[in-house]
């Protein structure tokens, strides 16, 4: 029997010294994860389309001695993403972890939604994931040291919903893309690719759903074995796990992070 190694166990959750690239870093989940990587000793590259917000984050993180920088880029634009990889490597020499945290939705009934609006959601939530993962994967392959990719999709990738023909389709596509990328990238190049499928996490946009008096909250509680909606820390723990060596045997998975929403 191969004994468990003390040094491995002591360091298996560490991302210290790694270089982590976070898309959608200006968003609720991207921001908490970027900061968590920083607290855990990683060097953090934050990206998004809003320079003002990225600069604010950089100032905030640097005030806490987090080694970080930002690069403005639209994840759905190939040339932006190529520039992002170049700038990241110029700054830190390599990329070891990718966290895809950007996303967009504009719910509309299919009968009222234009094809252009639907395509915009598909580009923002699916095509962009392909572009970012493709170019980061190439960089990781060139480095020859493997890597970890964590893509945030949604619990809506597994269930339909009124007004969500764009969002559910793109998130479902991203989940299958993750599984397919694992087939391309893990055995040969040591790059683990997984997705996290969340339900509702507390953020500025979702705060209203946490009101126990609201119908939305009460409906969720009928199907939430855990008895509450999610806090940012619930996401951070899972994402750090999938970014670390502790999850070395996990790839191609679409992992539920919903407090058990799909179980009842």
Asked if 253 interacts with ligand NDP (CB under 6 A), we say no
Q: Which two tokens stand for residue 202?
A: 């507390």
> By CB under 6 A, how many residues form the interface with ligand NDP?
27
Contact residue for ligand NDP among 26, 108, 186, 254 (CB under 6 A): 26
- Other beta carbons within 10 angstroms of residue 48's beta carbon come to 24
Asked if 27 interacts with ligand NDP (CB under 6 A), we say yes
Q: Select 122 or 191, whichever has its Cβ closest to ligand NDP.
A: 122
Kindly state the DSSP code that residue 3 receives in the 8-state scheme: P
Cβ atoms of 24 and 100 closer than 8 Å? yes
CA–CA distance, 2 with 207 (Å, rounded to integer): 48
Asked if 30 interacts with ligand NDP (CB under 6 A), we say yes
Q: Select 49 or 190, whichever has its Cβ closest to ligand NDP.
A: 49
Using CB under 6 A, which of the segments 35-43, 96-104, 108-116, 244-252 binds ligand NDP? 96-104
> At closest approach, how far in Å is the CB of 189 from ligand NDP?
25
Residues 100-139 within binding reach of ligand NDP (CB under 6 A)? 101-104, 124, 128
Asked if 195 interacts with ligand NDP (CB under 6 A), we say no
Catalytic option among 135, 167, 189, 261: 167
**C-alpha 5: how far from its chain's center?**
30
CA–CA distance, 224 with 27 (Å, rounded to integer): 25
Is 167 an active-site residue? yes
Asked if 206 interacts with ligand NDP (CB under 6 A), we say yes
Q: Which two tokens stand for residue 82?
A: 């190529």
Cβ atoms of 139 and 85 closer than 8 Å? yes
> At closest approach, how far in Å is the CB of 169 from ligand NDP?
13
CA–CA distance, 34 with 31 (Å, rounded to integer): 5
Cβ density class 101-138: b for 16+ within 10 Å, e for less: bbbbbeebeeeebeeeebeebbbbbbbbbbbbbebbbe
Asked if 158 interacts with ligand NDP (CB under 6 A), we say no
Asked if 201 interacts with ligand NDP (CB under 6 A), we say yes
Kindly state the DSSP code that residue 98 receives in the 8-state scheme: E
Asked if 173 interacts with ligand NDP (CB under 6 A), we say no
> At closest approach, how far in Å is the CB of 137 from ligand NDP?
19
Cβ atoms of 254 and 195 closer than 8 Å? yes
Active site residues per annotation:
167
User: Which residues would be at the binding site for ligand NDP (CB under 6 A)?
Assistant: 24, 26-30, 48-50, 53, 74-76, 101-104, 124, 128, 152, 154, 198, 200-201, 203, 205-206
């Amino acid at each position: 029997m191969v004994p468990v190694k003390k040094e491995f166990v002591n360091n298996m959750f560490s991302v210290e010294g790694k270089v982590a690239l976070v898309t959608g870093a200006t968003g609720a989940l991207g921001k908490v994860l970027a900061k968590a990587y920083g607290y855990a000793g990683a060097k953090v590259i934050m990206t998004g389309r809003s320079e003002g917000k990225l600069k604010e984050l950089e100032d905030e993180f640097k005030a806490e001695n987090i080694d970080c920088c930002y690069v403005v880029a639209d994840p759905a634009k190939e040339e932006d993403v190529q520039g992002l990889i170049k700038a990241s490597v110029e700054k830190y020499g390599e990329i070891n972890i990718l966290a895809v945290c950007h996303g967009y939705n504009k719910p509309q009934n299919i009968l009222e939604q234009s094809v252009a609006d639907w395509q915009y959601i598909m580009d923002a939530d699916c095509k962009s994931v392909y572009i970012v993962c493709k170019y980061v994967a190439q960089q990781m392959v060139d480095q020859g040291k493997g890597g970890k990719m964590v893509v945030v999709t949604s619990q809506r990738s597994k269930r339909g919903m009124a007004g969500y023909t764009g969002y559910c389709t793109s998130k479902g596509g991203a989940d299958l893309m993750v599984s397919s990328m694992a087939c391309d990238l893990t055995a040969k190049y040591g790059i683990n690719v997984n997705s996290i499928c969340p339900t509702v996490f507390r953020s500025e946009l979702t705060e209203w759903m946490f009101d126990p008096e609201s119908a939305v909250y009460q409906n969720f509680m009928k199907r939430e074995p855990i008895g509450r909606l999610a806090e940012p820390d619930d996401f951070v723990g899972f994402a750090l796990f999938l970014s670390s060596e502790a999850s070395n045997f996990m790839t191609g998975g679409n992992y539920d992070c919903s407090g058990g929403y799909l179980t009842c």
